[in-house]
Structure 1
Amino acid sequence: MQGSPRAGWLAAPYVLWLLAAFAAPLGAVALLSVQESSEIFAPISLLPSAAQYAEILGDTFFLRLLLNTGLLGLAVAAASAVLAYPLALWLTRLSPRAKPFGFAIILVPLLTNVVVRSLGIILLLAPRGVVSNAAQALGFPPLNLLFGWFAVGLSLVQVFLPFMVLALYDVLDGQEKRLEEAAAGLGAGPALRFWRVILPLSLPGLRGGLTLVFLMASTAYVSATLVGGRKVQVTGMVVLREGMEILNYPLASALAMLMLATSILVTFVFARAIGGLTPWVNARPPRRWPGLPPALRRGVVQVAEAVAPALSRILLLAAIAILLFPLLLVAVASVNDSPQATVAQFVGFTWKWYAAVLENERYLSDAWTSLQIAACCVVISLALALPAAFALVRAGFAGKEAVGAFLMLPLALPGIAIGLGMLRLLQWFNQIPPFLGVLAVHVVLVAPFMLALLRASVAQLERGLEEAAGGLGATPSRVFRRVILPQLAPGIAVSCVIGFLLSFGEVTVTAFLTTARLQTLPVRIYAEATFSLENTVNAISTIFILVTVALLVLVNRLMPLDRVWKR
């Protein structure tokens, strides 16, 4: 019965899993961060010490590291917002027939492995890459834009731009179209309509997008490692090095906790800043800002109206190019008869890199491991998320919204802390197989996405059919099999495909947990891209892209891609 408190117990397995595989690793990181000694074999002390934090905050290297990482996250969030607005507005104005293709431009890069996308940026910016070749063709000296902050920032924008676009699309698509039409009827041009109507109403979505992109960009290290080399240092790289190479777990844990504190602080600042710009949300009077003199204001408006149409088209094309062009470069490089993976100049066509991939037993073994983990992850995530979706939709119990927020919490906290904590737990409890540790973390990362999709599917169920079946004498189990499950089937299939892609391509957290005997394919690609430049990396990356496209085509046959996200 809808509103029954007992239905809330359906979320209990999900909550227990998070406590074991999410809260426990975070607790381990918090405990390690307050240890006085950094020695590997030092006993764990329950008396908290600020020694690790004092070392970090008293060292200019760590302070500069934290500041640079934070500034990088802010820059990536700002650049993503500028590029995302034209793309999100373009999506809202597409016809229903064309909208799934527009969403494919967003979802294909989003669900493609982050290592693959970083390789595309390398091909773009390398000394013999596309930009350098174009500069030479125009008479300029060759350029090398790799191994710098610009390259790292561009790669992170390419990785996280889809999240900003989707956050803005949610609010832009729901805006009342007649407001913009009324503004146009009163003589407002495109720039003024955007500034006075579209932007203010989309600020809640902008806040969500800025927060999400900053959280992910400030904790990312894969793109920074590949594109920035050793010349660009970000906090995630140092956490990985301190934890995996130096085995200084207390210092790595303290850095991870400072990253978490920074994430919470910036989230609060974004909320306050956007809240101050949207006083109508809390029924507060608007704050009056000092305005420009009338003559100057008219001049600014005229210039903005003249520039806005061309600028919006340029930004739209730039956003689409940043999302898709690196993937196209990877695909072209995979059939390029060049021994180096970073050479964009086409030498000749060849299939030998694909043959080398298919003949490499390490690739095949790691692919099989990734398939096993992804398949098990989807099964477990579905078993946890589907009952939890019913609990959040149909149960009536105190604190339901708080429980829903807790179930989505893994999306808002640095994955590095989860990976580091799980690594230490597996070392303490070494009887647990590494496969189970990797699987547990994958479920923590994938289940929230599947829960969001399934929750929307459960909310759209036709309750009248269930009541009619029950009135005809059908048992609850029969109602579920014959009435509920057929309605949920498309949503379940879509969530499983999305979950599979997310698990199969995960590398950021998995890199902490792989061993010599347990290696996933994305981590293998990441390692080889870091230390090797053979073109087989582009071949296996292209296979990743093709698999992602094929599965999204399947998803689109089950449900249009624009509806997938709206669910």
Structure 2
Amino acid sequence: MTSRAAAPLLATPYLLWMLAAFAAPLGVVALLSVQESPEIFAPLSFIPSGVQYADLATDPFSRRTILRTLALGAGVTLASAILGYPIALWLTRLPPRWRPLGFACVLVPLLTNVVVRSLGIILLLAPGGLVSNLLAFLGLPRVNLLFGWFAVGLALTQVFLPYMVLALYDVLEAQEKRLAEAAAGLGAGPVVTFFRVTLPLSLQGLRAGLVLVFLLASTAYVSATLVGGRQVMVSGMVVLKEGLEILNYPAASALAMVMLGASVLGTLLIGRAILFATPWSAGRPPRRLPGLPPALRRALVAALEAVGPLVARLLLGIALLLLLFPLVLVAVSSFNDSPQATVAQWLGFTWRWYAAVLGNERYLGDAWVSLQLALAATGVSLLISLPAAIGLARGTFPGREALAAFFMLPLALPGIAIGLGMLRLLQWFTLLPAFLGILAVHVVLVAPFMLAMLRASVAGLDRGLEEAASGLGAPPWRVFQRVVLPQLAPGIAVACLIGFLISFGEVTVTAFLTTARLQTLPVRIYAEAAFSLENTVNAISTVFILVTVLLLLAMHRLVPLDRVWRR
């Protein structure tokens, strides 16, 4: 057992990194948000001013943008829940031999660059695209669905749906299967069983999924920029514009802090709603709702049981198509002999876009930067996450769970606030290399995922082997080298692969920190997709998809994909 004194020490490197690369940038954003002067060279004032917040409150454009962004986040969260349940239930019911393939349908989109997935939505909704041609085939007028709130909401749902699925899968897989069998034995059909048994018992997983998707969707801006065509303005785009183009850091910081506050408030409201729906979790009796007349209730139940299975299959098909079909469209379009990436009409087969990518020194240089950054971020994250995982899994020190929650905090706070704060720090401390600043933020984004996986792996170790080795006289370092590390090797490899993919494809925060001389490949794709839209974007995006699939195959050889998330 890790001693009470040693366990906190093991978590210290992780804590120090979080303080330097997460707490410090957030502190900078909070300080900038209370500055009175918007001038970039104005001296910092430690006397707080509410001017920036007053401007946001009195500016109709700012109020409208914030409210629309929150409404968009709420809509995406609701859509993800509706589409997430059919996939999660489908995964739990797949035979064991097919379950890894089912998980691949979720993990491939999850770990594929957000720009790539947004390009797929553009191809789906573009004039002359699949939806437009389908409407024409049915004799309906063609509709341009791009550059509107529906398109942005669909893109964000495609991006964040995997988080909801994985959050629901955890609780659904852990449910006692005999409860559903008992309900069926008492005469309940599939719809009644879902609403009376499955749904109530999975509300805690639903809560986690709702919180995570709302936090991510209400602060996203990449998909809104691409699919919305800069005609749909969300808060993240305003922060990016104020911070990088206008250089009004106090205004950008104030908006980022308002988004942070709104995210926390939304999280609290979701928690209250789930608590209201599950009074038994707080020791209170269930609420009795007004009942329908028996005849009407029986008719309603019969109608729901008749259409419910069909609706569930339809939602499952829509969800799987939404996850995978945009990626297929990107891959097909990469061979299309069309100069524009958003032209969905097939003009002929060609390899020239791949040749253009391989002959483009900018792509190759940016790919090299992304590779170096991802490898460095994965390596540093492993160095600080593995000791922290051991300390948290085996330590018994006071405040352990609070410390673990703090380590997971970057997953629950707007990434643009971290990016904006780190950008300002790099401008103040010019001797700090830009690569190191980006690396620091990437570690903050990657390390929580790796920590969660490694902590589960450490908790699953066979302690008897360690005790036997110690009983035979092996010193602690030899026990760790010969017993612990071999058992952790698959978990470490999987965590590193996940960390590498997350870092390699990161755009949202990295876009704040790249420079003309130091740019990652995902940011390059994002910039080109937002302006030039040449078909080389689809070619390099297809390479992203292929790399993700190959790494997931390698991961599956180490640990079955259906067990990766549970680690």
The TM-score bracket by the shorter chain reads over 0.9
Match of 2:20 in 1: 20
Report Cα offsets for 1:281-322 as digits up to 9, x if no partner.
122111222222222222211111111010000000000000
CA distance in 1, matches of 2:98, 2:546: 21
- Farther off after superposition, 240-249 or 2-11: 2-11
Equivalent in the alignment of 1:135: 135
Partner of 2:503: 503
| Structure 2 runs not aligned, ≥5 long | none
What is residue 34 of structure 1 aligned with on the other side?
A: 34
- Distance in 2, matches of 1:101 and 1:87, equals 13
Which residue is equivalent to 2:408?
408
Residue in 2 that maps onto 1:282:
282
Q: Name the counterpart of 1:156.
A: 156
Which residue is equivalent to 1:215? 215
Give the aligned partner of residue 225 of structure 1: 225
CA offset digits 1:395-425 (Å, max 9, x no partner): 1100101011011110010001000000000
Aligned residue number for residue 7 of structure 2: 7
Where in structure 2 are the equivalents of 1:385-404 lying within 5 Å? 385-404=385-404
Deviation at 1:521, TM superposition (A): 0.1
Give the secondary-structure state (helix, strand or coil) at the position aligned to 1:566: coil
Cα distance, 1:229 vs. partner?
1.1
Q: 1:3 to 1:185 in 2, by over 3 A?
A: farther
1:79 Cα deviation from its structure 2 partner: 0.4
| Residue in structure 2 matched with residue 538 of structure 1 by the alignment | 538
Equivalent residue runs for 1:110-149 within 5 Å: 110-149=110-149
Counterpart code for 2:41? F
Shift of 1:139: 2.5
Q: Does 1:186 align with 2:195?
A: no
SS in 1 for 2:444: helix
Match for residue 462 of structure 1?
462
Aligned residue identity for 1:207: R
For residues 147-182 of structure 1, what are the alpha-carbon distances to aligned partners after superposition, in whole Å with 9 as ceiling and x for unaligned? 000000000000000000001101111111111111
- Superposition pairs of residues 228-307 of structure 1, within 5 angstroms: 228-307=228-307
**Cα RMSD for the two superposed structures:** 0.8
- Distance (whole Å) between structure 2 residues aligned to residue 200 and residue 299 of structure 1: 23
Q: Pairwise mapping of residues 517-528 of structure 1 onto structure 2 (< 5 A)?
A: 517-528=517-528
Within the alignment, does 1:552 sit opposite 2:552 as a pair? yes
Q: How does 1:187-206 map to 2 (within 5 A)?
A: 187-206=187-206
**Contact 1:5-1:396 at 8 Å conserved across structures:** no
Q: What is the match of residue 92 of structure 1?
A: 92
How far apart, in 2, do the equivalents of 1:197 and 1:5 lie?
45
Give the Cα–Cα distance (whole angstroms) in 1 for the partners of residues 67 and 387 of structure 2.
42
Q: TM-score, normalised by structure 1?
A: 0.99
Asked whether the equivalents of residues 128 and 342 of structure 1 are also in contact (C-alpha less than 8 Å), the reply is no
CA drift at 1:349:
0.9
Q: Distance in 2 between matches of 1:4 and 1:429?
A: 38
**2:68 equivalent in structure 1:** 68
Q: Which has the larger displacement, 274-283 or 293-302?
A: 293-302
- Asked if the contact 2:2/2:391 (under 8 Å) is kept, the reply is no
1:421 aligns with: 421
CA distance in 2, matches of 1:6, 1:107: 36
Q: Which amino acid aligns with 2:107?
A: L
CA contact (8 A) 1:104 1:561 kept: yes
Please state how far the C-alpha of 1:472 moved relative to its aligned partner: 1.3
Structure 1 segments of 4+ aligned residues over 6 angstroms from their partners? none
Q: Is the 8 A contact 1:4 1:394 kept in 2?
A: no
Structure 1 residue 46: Cα displacement: 0.2
For residue 362 of structure 2, give the secondary structure of its aligned residue in structure 1.
Answer: helix
Report how far residue 2 of structure 1 moved: 4.1
Q: What secondary structure sits across from 1:230 in the alignment?
A: coil
User: 2:380: which partner in 1?
Assistant: 380
Q: Secondary structure at the match of 1:398?
A: coil
Displacement of 1:8 after TM fit? Answer: 2.0
Deviation at 1:138, TM superposition (A): 2.5
**Counterparts of 1:195 and 1:54, CA distance in 2:** 45
Q: Is the 8 A contact 1:337 1:346 kept in 2?
A: yes
CA separation in 2, counterparts of 1:48 and 1:288?
50
Tell me how far apart the structure 1 counterparts of residues 131 and 50 of structure 2 sit (CA, whole Å): 48
**Residue-pair matches, total:** 567
Alpha-carbon distance between aligned partners in 2 of 1:289 and 1:37, rounded to the nearest angstrom: 55
Hey, what does 2:106 align to over in structure 1?
A: 106
TM-score (norm 2): 0.99
Q: CA deviation at 1:236?
A: 0.2
Counterpart residue identity of residue 53, structure 1? Y
Aligned to 2:430: 430
- 2:35–2:49: 8 Å Cα contact kept in structure 1? yes
Secondary structure of the structure 2 residue equivalent to 1:456: helix
